[in-house]
Amino acid sequence: MRKDQLERLIANSLQMINQLPGKYNNEYFYHEVLQTVVAFLPNADAGFFFMYDHKMGKLLIEAAIGYDSASYRKTRLSVGESITGSVYQTKQTRLVNAQIDVIEAMAAMTEENKVYYEEALLADNYPEAAVSFPIMSGEEVLAVLTINSFTASFDESITLLLDEIAPYLSVLCAQYQLKIKEAALEKELELTYNALRNEHQQLQRTTDLYNNLASLMSQNKSIDQMMQAINMSTKTPVAFYDELLYPIASFGKSAEHRLPDNFLASREVQYTLSVKKWQLISQVNESILVMPVVGAQTVIGFLCAWIDEESFNDGNRLLLEYSASMLGLELMKKRSIEETHRKLAGDIFEQLITGNYSDDVVRQAKNLDLDETDYFAILICEGKLETTGFNQYFIKDSWTKWIQQAMKVAGMDGLVTQRGMDVIAFLTVDGEKDKSFARNKLKSFTKQLEQIPFPVKIGIGRVYQGFVHVRKSYADAKQCIEMLNKKKSGKVLRFSDGGIYRLLLDHDKDELDLFVHDHIGPLLECKTKKDKELLDTLLAYVTFNRDLATVTNKLSIHHNTLYYRIKRIEESLHVSFANHDEWFDISVACKIYLFLTE
Amino acid sequence: MTFSIVARCKETGNFGAAVSSCFPAVGAYSPTIKPNIGIIASQGWVNPKLGPVGMTYLEKGKTANETLNTLLMKDPGRELRQLIVMDHFGNSAVYTGVENDDYKGHFVGDQYAVQGNLLTGEDVLTVMAETFEQTDGLLEERLLAALVAADKVGGDKRGKQAALVKVVAEDGFPYVDFRVDDDDEPVQLLAKMYETNRNVLIDRYYEWVEAVKTGVKFR
C-alpha cells in the first residue's frame, strides 16, 4: 500500500473510530468496536474480541463476527496459546498471511479450543489470513483483537495502520470500562448513601433523645416531661407504670390504649420480670411493647408502648429501651427522695407524739415544709395485712400511694409516712387561714377518702394549730379507728363526725348493755315478729327524730299504724315520749344499742 | 455451645463464616450467606428461619443494624440466641441474648465479627479475632486459622462435635463449603478436609463456574 493510501486509510479509520464514543451506552460496545475495525480493515470479514479474565487466568471471547456464537463462546485461551494468546503474551501485533500459516499457528491450541473453533467456523475452511493486535492500558494488555480474512491475505502495511489506531481504541475501551465501573460505583454509592442516611437518622434520633432526657433529668424536670420527649421521639403512645401498675405518666395515649386484664400474669410480662428484658404482647389491633424499668436489682416499673407491628420502626425499640433505663434512674432518684422525706417525717412524727417538741424537731420539720404555725390533723390508715414481708410492703405502699393521690386531688398539703403496720399522714393547712377553712378542707378531703378501694379503716383527728397538739390529733385518729372497728361499718371517720360515739368509747360493754336494758329492755326481750316490729319502729323513730312522714315512708306503714305502735312502745316501756327527760334517755339507749350491735 | 466467626474479604468482597459447636451437623442450621448481600449467623438455641428471613431484609438494602433490630422484634426467643448480621458493606450487628450460658460474648471488628457461648473463657473469642486479623491469604484460610486457634485455647466448654467453613463467591455455585457433622476433633478434621480437597474445586472455581454457565466440560 502506498504511503498516501495508508494515510487516507488511517484518516478514514480514525473518523470511524471517532463515532464509537456515541455507543458507550450500547451493551454490545465491544462488538461495535470489532465491527468498526473489520469494516475499515481492507479484506477483513471476521474477527474476535478477546479479554483477559483475571479470576480464571484465561482469555475469553467478548464479541465475534463471522463465527457461530454457540461454539466460540466456549473458547478459553491460555496465555501464549494460539495467535491471540501469543499476542497477549508478547504485547506485539502479529500478522499471519497465509492459510497454511494460520492453521499451523492454531495447531498449538488445546483439543477443546480447536474443536470449539472449528465448530464455530461458518466457512468450509480456516481463514486465509489473520492479524492480531493488543489493546493496551499502560503496561497491561486490556484486550486482544484478532481479525480474519476468509477471502484474501492482508496488506503488510496494515500492521502500521493497527499500531496507529490501537492507542485510540485503548482509550475508548478504557473509557468504556470506566463507564461500566462508574455505573457500578454509582449503584454502590446510592446503596451506601441510603444505608448511611438510615444509620445517621437512627443515630441522630438516639442522640437527640439522649440529650433531651439527660437535660430534663439534670434540670430536675418531671417524669411527665420525659415521657413527652419519648413520645415525640418515637411517635408512639407511651405509658409508664410502677411495679403495681399505678400509672406514673403517659403521653399520646388514648382510652383505647389499655393494659390487658391479665397483664402481670401474662407469659410475656412474667418473662420480662424474670430476665429483665423487653417483650412484645401481640394483640389483634395494636401490640404492646413492654420495657422493664429496672431499679437497683428488681423491676420497678414498665414502660409500655402501643405499636402497629407492621409499620413500627424497629429502631424505636432501642430508643424505648434506652428511655426505660433513664426512667429507671429518675424513678429511683424520686423514690429515694420520697423515702428520705418519709423517713424524716416518720422521725419527726415519733418525736411529736412522744412529746419531744424541741428546736431540732421544728428545724427538721421546716425542711419538710411543715410550719410550726400551720394547722395539723393526723390521718391513720390501718387494715388487715394477710401477707408478710415483701408483699406486705407493696400493700402498704399501695395505700400510701392512693392517699397521696387523694391528697393531690383534694389539694390537701402534707406528708405521708408509715409507722409499724399503719400508714400515717400529716395533713396541713396554712396557719394564716381561718380555722373553719382548715376544717372545711378536711371535710372535703374526707369525702375523697371514702372512695378508697382497699379494705382499710381511716381515722382522722381534729384540726389543731401548731406541733404541740399533734399528739392530741393522733389520739383522736386512733379513737376514730376504734370507733370504726366497733361500728363494723364505714371506712373513714373524722373525729368531729364521731358524735356521741366518742363518749361511748370510754365505757365498757357491760355498763352500756345495762343502760340499754334499763331503758328499752322490754322491747329487746320480745320474741314474736310483732314485738320485733316495735323495736325497729322505735329505732327508726329515734334515728329520724320523730319525723312521721320519713318514719312511715321508711317502714312502709300507714301513719295510723305508726301512732298505734308508738302507743304500744310507750306502754311497754312505761314512758311518755312527750316527757323530755324520758325521750332523751330512750334516744340515748337506742344510740348505744345501735353502737353495740351495728 | 458454639463459637463462630463471620467476615467479608476486603479484596474480593466474598462473604464467609466458620463455626464450631458441640451440636451435630451444625452447618445444617446456620449460617446463611449470600454473595454481595451478607451473612446471618444464628447460634445458641438456633432459630434457622432467621437466616432466610433476615436475608430478605439485607437484599432490600437494610443495614446490619436495621436487620438485626427487625429480626429481634419478630423473634420471641431472642434472649436464647446469639445472632450476627453482616451487611453488604461488611458492617456487623451482633446480639447475645441474656439466656445464653456463660462464658458468652461477641466482638465486632473491621469487616468481621466473632461470637460464642458456653465457652471455656473470653480468650476463645480474643484469640479467634486476633488470629483472623494476623493471618494473610484467602478468606477461607483466615477463617479456618481463626477457628483452629480458638479450638486450641479451649473452645466449647461442653466438648466438640461439628464444624464448618463456608465462603460464597457466585450465587448458586458453592465455593468453599466444608462441613464436619460428627467427630471427636471436628475443627482439625475440617482443616484437613480443606487442605486435601481445595485443589478439586476451590483453586479452579471460576473456571468451573464459567464452564457450567457456558456448557463445556470442566477438566
Task: Tell me the shortest Cα–Cα distance from B148 to chain A, in angstroms.
Answer: 28
A202 located within any domain? no
A55 vs B61, B72, B206: nearest CB: B206
Q: What is the mean pLDDT of residues A214-237?
A: 91
Contact across the interface for B206 and A275, Cβ inside 8 Å: no
On whether both A40 and A179 belong to a single domain, the answer is yes
As a whole number of Å, the CA-based R_g of chain B is 16
Residue A386 reports pLDDT greater than 80: no
Closest C-alpha to A300, from A261, A242, A257, A230: A242
**Per-residue 3-state assignment (H helix, E strand, C coil) for A220-250:** CCCHHHHHHHHHHHHCCCEEEEECCCCEEEE
Q: With pLDDT > 90 as the criterion, what percentage of chain A qualifies? A: 44
On whether both A409 and A391 belong to a single domain, the answer is yes
**B98, closest residue in chain A (CA to CA):** A275
Candidates B59, B68, B69: best to mutate against A (most CBs of A within 10 A) is B69
Q: What is the mean pLDDT of residues A507-530?
A: 82
On whether both A328 and A399 belong to a single domain, the answer is no
Listed in sequence order, the residues at least 6 apart from A528 whose beta carbon sits closer than 8 Å to its beta carbon are none
On whether both A493 and A531 belong to a single domain, the answer is no
User: What's the structural domain count of chain A?
Assistant: 4
Task: Output the average pLDDT for chain A.
Answer: 88
Host domain of residue A127:
3-183
Alpha carbons A396 and A385: distance in angstroms, whole number = 9
Which residue is associated with the grid cell 483466615? B142
Contact by Cβ (8 Å): A382, A456: yes
Q: Which residues of B touch A (CB under 8 A)?
A: 61-63, 65-66, 69-70, 72-73, 76, 79, 87-89, 98-99, 206-207, 210, 214-217, 219
Contact across the interface for A74 and B216, Cβ inside 8 Å: yes
Residue A527's pLDDT is what? 66
Candidates B57, B59, B62, B65: best to mutate against A (most CBs of A within 10 A) is B65
Residue A177 reports pLDDT greater than 60: yes
Host domain of residue B22:
2-214
Which residue is associated with the grid cell 410480662? A269
Contact by Cβ (8 Å): A448, A410: yes
Alpha carbons A323 and A442: distance in angstroms, whole number = 40
Residue A498's pLDDT is what? 76
Residue, of A226 and A501, whose pLDDT is higher: A226
On whether both A537 and A495 belong to a single domain, the answer is no
Residue B63's pLDDT is what? 95
Residue, of A397 and A487, whose pLDDT is higher: A397
Q: Which helix (H) or strand (E) holds B174?
A: strand B173-180
Contact across the interface for B206 and A312, Cβ inside 8 Å: no
Residue A234 reports pLDDT greater than 70: yes
A208 located within any domain? no
On whether both A7 and A117 belong to a single domain, the answer is yes
B143 located within any domain? yes
Contact across the interface for A314 and B206, Cβ inside 8 Å: no
Contact across the interface for A195 and B63, Cβ inside 8 Å: yes
A116 located within any domain? yes
Listed in sequence order, the residues at least 6 apart from A235 whose beta carbon sits closer than 8 Å to its beta carbon are A316
Give one DSSP letter per residue of B88-104, joined into a string: TTS-EEEEE-TTSPSS-
B97 located within any domain? yes
pLDDT category at A482 given cuts 50, 70, 90 is confident
Q: What is the mean pLDDT of residues A542-547?
A: 89
Candidates A56, A119, A196: best to mutate against B (most CBs of B within 10 A) is A56
Residue A387's pLDDT is what? 58
Residue, of A529 and B144, whose pLDDT is higher: B144
pLDDT category at A415 given cuts 50, 70, 90 is confident
User: What's the structural domain count of chain B?
Assistant: 1
On whether both A331 and A440 belong to a single domain, the answer is no
Contact across the interface for B69 and A318, Cβ inside 8 Å: yes
Of A197-206, A362-371, A406-415, where does mean pLDDT reach its minimum? A362-371
Contact across the interface for A56 and B99, Cβ inside 8 Å: no
On whether both A451 and A513 belong to a single domain, the answer is no
Residue A227's pLDDT is what? 95
B71 located within any domain? yes
Alpha carbons A438 and A324: distance in angstroms, whole number = 41
Q: What is the mean pLDDT of residues A329-346?
A: 86
Amino acid at position B188, single letter: Q
Strand ranges (DSSP E) for A420-508?
A: 422-429, 456-460, 464-465, 492-494
- Which residues in chain A are contacts of B92 at CB distance < 8 A? none
ipTM of the complex: 0.84
Ranges of residues in chain B whose predicted pLDDT is under 50: none
Candidates A111, A198, A269, A314: best to mutate against B (most CBs of B within 10 A) is A314
B219 located within any domain? no
Angle, helix A315-353 to helix A359-367, in steps of 10 degrees: 160
pLDDT category at A53 given cuts 50, 70, 90 is very high
Of A279-283, A434-438, A500-504, B187-191, where does mean pLDDT reach its minimum? A500-504
Give the bridge partners for A135, in sequence order.
Answer: A143
On whether both A385 and A478 belong to a single domain, the answer is yes
Contact across the interface for A76 and B63, Cβ inside 8 Å: no
Q: What CATH number is attached to the domain comprising A320? A: 3.30.450.40
On whether both A23 and A162 belong to a single domain, the answer is yes
C-alpha cell at A273: 420480670
Identify the domain boundary among A503, A518, A546: A503
A197 located within any domain? no
Q: What CATH number is attached to the domain comprising A391? A: 3.30.70.270
A277 vs B65, B79, B215: nearest CB: B79
B162 located within any domain? yes
B40 located within any domain? yes
Q: What CATH number is attached to the domain comprising B58? A: 3.60.20.10
On whether both A423 and A514 belong to a single domain, the answer is no
Q: Which residues of A touch B (CB under 8 A)?
A: 53, 55-56, 58, 60, 73-74, 76, 112, 116, 191-192, 194-195, 198-199, 202, 275-277, 279-280, 309, 312, 314-315, 317-318
On whether both A517 and A476 belong to a single domain, the answer is no
A493 located within any domain? yes
Residue, of A324 and A479, whose pLDDT is higher: A324
